[in-house]
Amino acid sequence: MNVMCGIVGVTGNENAVEMLMNGLRRLEYRGYDSAGIYVNDQNGKDYLVKEKGRVADLAKAIGEDVHGSTGIAHTRWATHGQPSVANAHPQVSADGRFYLVHNGVIENYIELRDKYLQDVTFKSETDTEVVVQLIDYFVKHDNLTTLEAFRKVLYLVGDSSYGFLLMDREEPDTLFVAKNKSPLLVGVGNGFNVVCSDAIAMLNYTHDFIEMQDGEIMILTPEKVDIEDEEGHHITRLPFHVSMDASEADKGTYPHYMLKEIDDQPTVMRKLAQTYFNDDGQVTIDDELLADLQSADRLYIVAAGTSYHAGLVGERLFERLAAVPTEAHVSSEFAYNSPILSKHPFFIFLSQSGETADSREVLTEVNAKGYHSLTITNVQNSTLSREATYTMLLNAGPEIAVASTKAYTAQIAVEAIIAKALGEATQQVAAADFDLRPQLGLVANGIQALVDQKERFEAVAKDNFVDQRDAFYIGRGIDYAVSLEASLKLKEITYIHSEGVAAGELKHGPIALIESGTPVIGIITQERTASLTRSNLAETAARGSHIMTIVTKSLAKAHDDIILEDVDEMLTPLLTIIPAQLISYYTSLLKGLDVDKPRNLAKSVTVQ
């Protein structure tokens, strides 16, 4: 099973191998434990190369003579079945006629295997091999064409999740493409066509992409793209233009994407101030969205991971600025344990990728019930964006490092923008007094001042984190929300056990974990709770912890460690997270870990 992989295909280009390999490199953030490629040269020669490990390992394994003009490739993030050459994709039918790459999970593959394929000897442990063998079976057994067999298998796998690219040696310039609950885009070139999990993979070759809907089949040849719906009816759909430059997805002279993305944050703040404010300094969001928000009696923010942490900050922003009750929820919980909803709910989905399956599960239900929703995302035309009533873009530029940084701060800034617009529309004094545009400028400067002190954070990482087993971030209110995110950043790229704790909760249990030298970092930006958090820090110090503070200038005291520029109390998460991002980055680096691609993780989690 392969759930968050990157897939790419090309038909009709002599440089297919280079295009596929470049595409895989750009998709590696989606999975990186094994990779493979199949190409056909249209003259009866074809090549299958698979390798355990990174795309770079596959590149080494591809010999000089591997060439072709049509092909498919895959980079994998395994859930079931070890990463291995046998389990890597493409998977092949028994007689070597059909080649398939897959992103998703076929839920009923065991039943299908037992029903139809008892005579087949399987070479891998993958659900994908069952699919490719089934296609072969229906072509031979029921005399179906490849397209008919493909359609039949799609019917049999039901509501499983998949992005499939299929090749048939007997139609070597054709790609058969289908998707369900898994992202895929078709790119239109001049004399060639491509398909990929994310437009970033193919931006060097085309900027014109055709959206693909669940249940459709696309048949790509060098000259054309045929689209068929579930019943086989032809559909016409025009391409849309992606204006992003391919170089935006490069890390340039930076050693890692994560460092570049941390450094991008001041620019992102300024860009959001430009995008969502008019020349008179008025906040501007879509009128219909604003009307919908005004008629809601409660906002439900639904998201996962870092985006959920941004939602926790949003909860406070909406309540304070717009006086509307707001709840942030983890999407995987909400989907199956949803709370009793208010009479007029409005849903806000936060998702960097716009593809997170857990969040999409909730959105599907929200749509089925006829409620309105907004997706705040970094990816234009992503699934959550297409399926929600409204979209607001983060405009943060591609985020490639698995650990999310600039999407988090951009999400909070966009939440603040909406909260201000809504609060102003409902005449809230707090919103009128909240001078957001100049504040975003101060935030940008404050972030810049922090990212300019990299050596300092590297020293903190070296002296206080590298050799630790555990670490704690603590805070109250909005500072607690940031503690959760700070702690997630640390654990996911340094593998240090870390927790974000509500400062007042320490004494109710977690303080038992404090040992001599355990780092406890207090985040202190709220006047009302500053002295309480300081007392909680002192309580851990009395038990041997090594305490550090991240404090805004106006609340700082003589022995504080990291002092931040003053910004509005509601916007401090945009600054307090930056030291935590940099400390995590340098700790990971000093431990010799793969900062951008931490173990066991992948970006864009397209399975529940």
Residues taking part in catalysis: 5, 603
Residue 326 makes contact with ligand F6R by CB under 6 A: no
Beta strands of 27-137 (E only): which ranges? 34-40, 46-52, 70-76, 91-92, 98-105
Do residues 251 and 422 lie in contact, with contact meaning Cβ atoms separated by under 8 Å?
no
Nearest to 295 by CA among 343, 349, 339, 367: 343
State the nearest-atom distance from the C-beta of 311 to ligand F6R, in Å: 10
Query: Which residue lies nearer to ligand F6R by CB, 182 or 359?
Result: 359
Give just the sign of the alpha carbon dihedral 247, 187, 183, 96.
negative
Q: How far is CA 411 from CA 278, 327, 434, 491, in A?
A: 20, 16, 18, 21
Instruction: Return the biggest CA–CA distance within the chain.
Output: 82
State the nearest-atom distance from the C-beta of 402 to ligand F6R, in Å: 6
Query: Which residue lies nearer to ligand F6R by CB, 306 or 498?
Result: 306
Residue 467: how many other CB atoms lie within 10 Å: 12
Query: Which residue lies nearer to ligand F6R by CB, 331 or 536?
Result: 331
Residue 404 makes contact with ligand F6R by CB under 6 A: yes
Binding residue for ligand F6R, selected from 6, 90, 163, 305, defined by CB under 6 A: 305
State the nearest-atom distance from the C-beta of 607 to ligand F6R, in Å: 11
Q: Which residues contact 591 (CB under 8 A, 6 or more apart)?
A: 466, 494, 495
DSSP state of 68: B
Angle at 416 (CA atoms; ends 415, 419), nearest 5 degrees: 85
Which one of the spans 93-101, 225-233, 349-357, 390-398 is the region binding ligand F6R (CB under 6 A)?
349-357
3-class DSSP state of 447: helix
The residue count for binding ligand F6R (CB under 6 A) is: 14
Binding residue for ligand F6R, selected from 70, 87, 326, 352, defined by CB under 6 A: 352
Which one of the spans 78-86, 352-360, 447-455, 566-574 is the region binding ligand F6R (CB under 6 A)?
352-360
Query: Which residue lies nearer to ligand F6R by CB, 160 or 352?
Result: 352
Residue 527: how many other CB atoms lie within 10 Å: 11
Residue 581 makes contact with ligand F6R by CB under 6 A: no
State the nearest-atom distance from the C-beta of 300 to ligand F6R, in Å: 16
Which one of the spans 92-100, 348-356, 547-555, 564-572 is the region binding ligand F6R (CB under 6 A)?
348-356
Binding residue for ligand F6R, selected from 11, 93, 353, 533, defined by CB under 6 A: 353
Query: Which residue lies nearer to ligand F6R by CB, 70 or 307?
Result: 307
State the nearest-atom distance from the C-beta of 399 to ligand F6R, in Å: 8
State the nearest-atom distance from the C-beta of 379 to ligand F6R, in Å: 8
Binding residue for ligand F6R, selected from 307, 409, 572, 581, defined by CB under 6 A: 307
Distance of CA 386 to the CA centre of its chain: 16
State the nearest-atom distance from the C-beta of 349 to ligand F6R, in Å: 8
Query: Which residue lies nearer to ligand F6R by CB, 219 or 262?
Result: 262
Specify which residues 29 forms β-bridges with: none
Q: Which residues contact 282 (CB under 8 A, 6 or more apart)?
A: none
Beta-strand relationship, 225-228 and 217-220: antiparallel
Do residues 559 and 431 lie in contact, with contact meaning Cβ atoms separated by under 8 Å?
no
Beta-strand relationship, 546-552 and 519-524: parallel
Query: Which residue lies nearer to ligand F6R by CB, 180 or 581?
Result: 581
Binding residue for ligand F6R, selected from 39, 131, 202, 304, defined by CB under 6 A: 304
Distance of CA 279 to the CA centre of its chain: 33
Distance of CA 519 to the CA centre of its chain: 29
Query: Which residue lies nearer to ligand F6R by CB, 237 or 491?
Result: 491
Which one of the spans 71-79, 109-117, 149-157, 301-309 is the region binding ligand F6R (CB under 6 A)?
301-309
Query: Which residue lies nearer to ligand F6R by CB, 421 or 607?
Result: 607
Beta strands of 459-545 (E only): which ranges? 470-475, 497-502, 519-524
Do residues 296 and 381 lie in contact, with contact meaning Cβ atoms separated by under 8 Å?
no
Which one of the spans 167-175, 236-244, 304-312, 497-505 is the region binding ligand F6R (CB under 6 A)?
304-312
Residue 356 makes contact with ligand F6R by CB under 6 A: yes
State the nearest-atom distance from the C-beta of 421 to ligand F6R, in Å: 22
**Site for ligand F6R, residues 475 to 514, rule: CB under 6 A:** 488, 492
Binding residue for ligand F6R, selected from 11, 160, 197, 306, defined by CB under 6 A: 306
Which one of the spans 202-210, 300-308, 335-343, 509-517 is the region binding ligand F6R (CB under 6 A)?
300-308
5 residue type, one letter:
C
Q: Which residues contact 261 (CB under 8 A, 6 or more apart)?
A: 399, 400, 401, 405, 406
Binding residue for ligand F6R, selected from 13, 126, 351, 584, defined by CB under 6 A: 351
**Site for ligand F6R, residues 589 to 608, rule: CB under 6 A:** 605
Residue 588 makes contact with ligand F6R by CB under 6 A: no
Give the integer Cα–Cα distance in Å for 3 and 7: 11
Beta-strand relationship, 91-92 and 171-180: unpaired
Nearest to 313 by CA among 534, 434, 485: 485
- Write out the two tokens for 493: 């790229």
Query: Which residue lies nearer to ligand F6R by CB, 171 or 499?
Result: 499
Which parts of this chain interact with ligand F6R (CB under 6 A)? 304-307, 351-353, 356, 359, 403-404, 488, 492, 605
